[in-house]
């Protein structure tokens, strides 16, 4: 599981049937210090996240599709929750 920031929304006129009823958001994975971690990904939203929200992100296909209740669906990434705060004891 990763931390990410929602940086945009996608609009699709046609979706795979398993994606109906879910938003697809553009999410930038983050390192713990808040810097970007690789490229942004498109993630199926199961937490009603919005642009600017920090989120819990899973980017492994099987974990993504089962965690949003869409088994056997073409899903590579999913938003599982919206993060309110992060506290690090270093």
pLDDT tens track for 19-35: 777 889 999 999 988 99
Q: Whole-model pTM?
A: 0.87
Q: Regarding beta strands 2-9 and 24-30, do their DSSP bridges make them parallel or antiparallel, or are they unpaired?
A: antiparallel
CA neighbor of 24 nearest in space, from 70, 72, 62? 70
**Cα(90)–Cα(57) distance, integer angstroms:** 23
Q: How much is the pLDDT for 43?
A: 93
Q: What is the pLDDT of residues 6-65, one digit of tens each?
A: 999 998 888 887 777 788 999 999 998 899 999 999 999 989 999 999 999 999 877 887
CA neighbor of 73 nearest in space, from 90, 57, 59, 61? 61
CATH 3.40.50.800, applies to 2-9+22-82? no
Domain boundaries, the chain: 2-9+22-82
């Amino acid at each position: 599981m990763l931390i990410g920031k929602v940086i945009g929304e996608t609009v699709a006129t046609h979706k795979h049937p398993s994606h109906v009823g879910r938003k697809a958001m553009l999410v930038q994975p983050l390192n713990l210090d808040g810097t970007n971690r690789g490229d942004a990904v498109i993630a199926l939203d199961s937490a009603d996240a919005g642009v600017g929200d920090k989120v819990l992100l899973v980017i492994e296909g099987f974990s993504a599709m089962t965690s949003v209740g869409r088994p056997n669906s073409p899903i590579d990434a999913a938003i599982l929750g919206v993060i309110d705060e992060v506290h690090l004891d270093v």
